[in-house]
A and B are shown apart, each in its own frame.
Chain A
Amino acid sequence: MILISEKIKQTLAYPALLMGCVALLVCSLLLITNSLTAQPIADRQREDLTRQLNQVLPSSVYDNQPLDQKYEELLNGQKFTFYRARLQDKVSAIILFTHTSGYSGDIALLVAIKADGELSGVRVLSHTETPGLGDKIEQDKSDWILGFSGLSLSHPQPAGWAVKKDGGQFDAFTGATITPRAVVKGVYEALQLFKAQQNYFLEITDAAEDTNRS
Chain B
Amino acid sequence: MQKYNYKEIISSNLWSNNVVFAQMLALCPLLAVTSGATNGLGLGLITTAVMFFSSLLISLIRPLLTPQVRIPVFILLIATLVTIADLAMNAWLHELHKVLGLFIPLIVTNCAILGRAESYASKNPCFPAVVDGLATGVGFTFALVVLGGFRELVGSGTLFANASLLLGESFSLIELTPLPEYRGMLLVILPSGGFIMLGILLSGKRLLDSFLKPKADTAKVGNEFSCNVD
Asked whether A22 lies within 8 Å of B63 as measured between CB atoms, the reply is: no
Contact pattern, A 9-41, Cβ under 8 Å of B = 1, otherwise 0: 100001100110011001001100110110011
Q: Does B73 contact A (CB under 8 A)?
A: yes
Q: Does B189 contact A (CB under 8 A)?
A: yes
Asked whether A22 lies within 8 Å of B186 as measured between CB atoms, the reply is: no
Contact pattern, B 7-48, Cβ under 8 Å of A = 1, otherwise 0: 000000000000000000000000000010000000000000
Give every chain A residue within 8 A of B79 (Cβ-Cβ).
26
For chain A, the count of residues having a C-beta within 8 Å of the partner chain is 27
For chain B, the count of residues having a C-beta within 8 Å of the partner chain is 28
With A3-B64, A132-B189 as contacts: A18 and B87 at CB distance below 8 Å: no
Give every chain B residue within 8 A of A3 (Cβ-Cβ).
63-64
Which one of B90-98, B104-112, B195-203, B219-227 contacts A? Answer: B90-98
Contact pattern, B 121-134, Cβ under 8 Å of A = 1, otherwise 0: 00001000000000
Asked whether A132 lies within 8 Å of B64 as measured between CB atoms, the reply is: no
Q: Does B216 contact A (CB under 8 A)?
A: no
Give every chain B residue within 8 A of A22 (Cβ-Cβ).
61, 73, 76-77
With A3-B63, A19-B72, A26-B77 as contacts: A41 and B90 at CB distance below 8 Å: yes
Residues of chain B from 43 to 73 with CB closer than 8 A to chain A in the complex: 61-66, 68-69, 72-73
Q: Does B190 contact A (CB under 8 A)?
A: yes
Asked whether A41 lies within 8 Å of B66 as measured between CB atoms, the reply is: no
Besides A41-B87, A48-B94, 13 other A-B contacts (C-beta < 8 A): A1-B62, A1-B125, A2-B63, A3-B64, A18-B69, A19-B72, A19-B76, A23-B76, A33-B84, A37-B87, A47-B94, A131-B35, A132-B189
